[in-house]
Amino acid sequence: MRYAAILALLNTHLQTFPGWSDAACAWPNRPFTPTPGVGWWKVDFIPSTVEYALGASGAIHERGIYQVTRYEPASKGAAAGLGASDSMASHFSRQVLAGSGLSVACGIPELGPCLSEPDWFASPLSIRFTAL
C-alpha cells in the first residue's frame, strides 16, 4: 500500500492553496492550539476501499477521503467558513496530483454537514481520491 505517499501528495497540494499557513492547520497527530478569533483548518486522512485487478501484475487503486475542515470564529457567521470551503473545493476539484511514481486523482469535493459550536463554525470538505 502507498498511503504515506498518497498523504504526502495531498498535503503538498494543500500547501499550495493561496494564503496557506502551516501554523493555521491542525495536522493529523500533531499538537495544535487554535488562536482565538482566527480561522484555521483541520486535516483528516480517511483511507477507504482498495480496488485491484486479478493476476500477479494486477493494478491496485487505493481510495479514500482527504477531509479538510475550515473553522471560523462563530462571530463571523456561516458565510466566512463556507466561502473558505468553496475556495478549497475549487483548489482540489478534479485535480490529478503526481509525484514519487504515483498519481492521485481527486474527485469533486463535497461539503458535509456544518457544525456550529459556541466559539467556532466548522465546514467539513470531503475530497474523495483514487491512487492510480
Q: What is the CATH number of the domain that holds 108?
A: 3.30.2000.20
Total count of domains within the chain: 1
Helix %, strand %, coil % of the chain (to 5): 25, 40, 35
Q: Which domain holds residue 81?
A: 3-131
What does the DSSP 8-state code read for residue 94? T
Q: Is the pLDDT of residue 55 over 70?
A: no
User: What are 12-25's pLDDT values in tens digits?
Assistant: 999 999 999 999 99
User: What are 99-126's pLDDT values in tens digits?
Assistant: 988 999 999 999 999 999 899 999 999 9
Give the closest residue to 64 by CA, choosing from 15, 28, 17: 28
**Among residues of the chain, what percentage have pLDDT more than 90?**
83
- The neighbour count for residue 112, using CB atoms within 10 Å, is 15
